[in-house]
Structure 1
Amino acid sequence: MVDLSQYLPILLFLGVALLLSTSFVFTPMLVSRLTGTNKPNPDKLAEYECGFPAFEDPRSQFDVRFYLVAILFIVFDLEAAFLYPWAVSVFSLGWTAWIAMMIFIAELALGLVYAWKKGALEWE
């Protein structure tokens, strides 16, 4: 016979996690309704990140420059993510690591110059 009491801590953990997650979602909504801060208006409901209305005809054309700038940001953010561990350990890695990183930074700089020359960073 299997002793199911061994599963009680797991069930308690799942119950507490479910209770906390639902309270973290629904409590702010309830408090905003009770305090009167839930007053939607056109300014609050306007798009603020993507640059075009979210609920339009899905076949309409939109400007892709926003996505291009976002991709460039991700590329240079990843460069910073690679640069930090390299900078911490560069003295123990030697000249080979230094040269490899300089080549990596030069490639990214060339990519930035190319995007700049093509006008990818200009916003009209």
Structure 2
Amino acid sequence: MIRAYLPALVFVGLGAILGAVFATLNSFLGPKPKHVRAATGEPYESGLPSEVKKSMRFGISFYLVAMLFILFDIETIFLFPVAIQLKAFGTFALVEIIVFIVLLFVAFVYVWRRGALEWK
């Protein structure tokens, strides 16, 4: 049993050893900062300093849009297996998928009309 896992264990062990060697070499041979500024530890994105405070909270619309994206994304994933095997499933599956897409579209229009996709 151990022979089956031996190549994987050797690979993981060599990776860990190589990572430790490179980290050690970097600490000895790498460039040393001459002085550390306070701005070094601040977040930096897209070439501009960040204005985000640690206590900043995202609005509920951010989470609502994210949840709706996940919901509609997962629902459309269910279409893929049926699309692959549509000939095997026949006309009944095609009608069911059309009903599914129509219901999905109605749900999308409802969410859109309620203003859930408006960024506030």
In the superposition, the TM-score normalised over structure 2's length comes to 0.61
Structure 1 residues 21 and 120, CA, compared in 2 at 3 Å: closer, same or farther?
A: farther
Structure 1 residues 89 and 61, CA, compared in 2 at 3 Å: closer, same or farther?
A: same
1:96 is aligned, of 92, 99, 108, to 92
Is structure 2 residue 80 aligned with structure 1 residue 84? yes
Deviations for 1:49-69, whole angstroms, at most 9, x for unmatched residues? xxx75x42xxx8641111111
CA distance in 1, matches of 2:3, 2:84: 46
- Ranges in structure 1 where 5+ consecutive residues have no aligned partner: 1-5
Deviations for 1:80-115, whole angstroms, at most 9, x for unmatched residues? 311222112212211211111112112211111111
**One-letter amino acid of the counterpart of residue 80, structure 1:** T
CA distance in 2, matches of 1:35, 1:95: 68
Check whether the contact 2:62–2:119 (CA below 8 A) recurs between aligned residues. Answer: no
State the match for 1:43 in structure 2. 44
What is the aligned residue count?
104
2:9 is aligned, of 11, 14, 24, to 14
Check whether the contact 2:64–2:116 (CA below 8 A) recurs between aligned residues. Answer: yes
Identity of aligned residues (%): 34
1:100-115, aligned counterparts within 5 Å? 100-115=96-111
Superposition misfits of 4+ residues, deviation over 4 angstroms: none
| CA shift for structure 1 position 120 | 0.5
State the match for 1:3 in structure 2. none
In the superposition, the TM-score normalised over structure 1's length comes to 0.60
Secondary structure in 1 matching 2:44: helix
CA distance in 1, matches of 2:110, 2:15: 49
- Ranges in structure 2 where 5+ consecutive residues have no aligned partner: 33-39
**One-letter amino acid of the counterpart of residue 44, structure 2:** D
Check whether the contact 2:111–2:117 (CA below 8 A) recurs between aligned residues. Answer: yes
